[in-house]
Structure 1
Amino acid sequence: MATRLVQVNIKARDDSALGRFWAEALGWGVSSEGPGVTNVEPVGLVWPDPVAVWVDVVAVPDPETVKYRVHVDLATTSAAHHAELVARLADLGARPADVGPGDVAWTVLADPEGNMFRVLEPREIYRDTGPIAAVVVDCADPRAMSRFWGAAIDWTLHEVTDDHARLRSAKGVGPYLEFVRTPGVQTVWTRVHLDLLPYAGDDQAAEVARLRALGATDSDIGQGDVPWTVLADPEGNEFCVLGPGR
């Protein structure tokens, strides 16, 4: 048994407006499964597909404005593409984000609701990922996180050091999932989290039990009676195990 990473979930004051921003940023389309939910999805693909990680934007009151532990890195193919994308994102409502001193090749931005993300300089490793190069999780121990997440989902571990771990779909397509050692990483409830989905024919409850045995713990974020289960990984990052009806 195994689960798969299928989407990044972002909480927002205005799911429709933020969903449109991310759709324009990624060159994707939007749909909605109900009030307060905007699905940002690659055109021409049927969910779920390992070629992409979808983005779900969900309306909640008064999201925090902290720097979340989970963010996305966007890929570029050239210096010109990097400059064009940063300029286009600014026109869409993104703004520069100050994350401290340092002369770096990438650009850090915040979306219209303050969620930070990076536009990377061209990197060969991300040349075939699509617009999202990686989903990045700040953590204290990348090795431990790679062990948990490597067992939790059916993705292949490509690299692990004391400072960084990188996984990707076993099919060798789509974005990477990366864990980056970050001193003083926060442990507050985050408004950005990962959603996992069992494979067709696998039992959701059995997958949840398996994840608990790996070290996940139950997490109550006020979700109420929903068809998914909210867990937290060994460093306290919430994630959802989706069921029928997502």
Structure 2
Amino acid sequence: MRLFGKKKNIVQTDKNLKPSERFEKVLLSRLEKEGYKHLKSKHEFVQDFEHGKRVINLSYNNTFGYISTVQYFIKIVFRDLEKSFKKAHPNYGWTNWTIHENLHWTESTLYDDKADDYTDRSINNLADEFFREIKPRIDSTFSKIGNYSQLNEIYNTNPSEFIDYLPPSRPEKRIINGLILTKALEPEKFEIRKNQYFLLLNKYKENDFDEIRKEVELGLTFLNENEIKINTTTNKTYKQ
């Protein structure tokens, strides 16, 4: 793949590759400068940071057999927090995402309707939209939630509400993560926050309420019986 055309500053792609691969190579030509690695099989770009990893995930919309728009998701995994959650819930079968945000679909399309083909022009236009419209939003979230103090604040400032960054379909994970952070960073507030979270649970009206409450109580048993340690500082240096 030649990086930039001489006349129009367009990243030229290999037409023998899948359209999604061509697009992701264009994104990688800039994202790798920020330390992102490309996981082609998962359509993901992963960047290590001092407390875990950040992920940009792509999902392709197939319309009438052609890839049109792209949806972006971002995830942040805080390593020590997720390890503690896994100890509290060893059989929990869901994701280890600490933060998850849906950034919706693009306006531009990967397929070039005018040329009736996937062209470097349409692929680069979509990449330009990503770096112009989507990437600043990603950077904003990553900068707002870059360490455990920031994570604790966004999780626990108002425990009676679900934060936007984690799907509300898993309130037990939301609650136990919040309490793990509280016990590790603000142990004097643990009992107060525990009561606040139970008030939240009592307002939860979903059909699986009993199962959710059991999961929360299981996590609380672990927290009450075990010391929680989270390494909030590190000497490792990663590309940001």
Scaled to the shorter chain, the TM-score interval is under 0.3
The normalised TM-score by structure 1 is 0.25
Point out the structure with the larger helix share: 2
Instruction: Report 1 or 2 for greater relative contact order, CA contacts < 8 Å, sequence distance ≥ 6.
Output: 1
- The two structures have a TM-score, normalised by structure 2, of 0.26
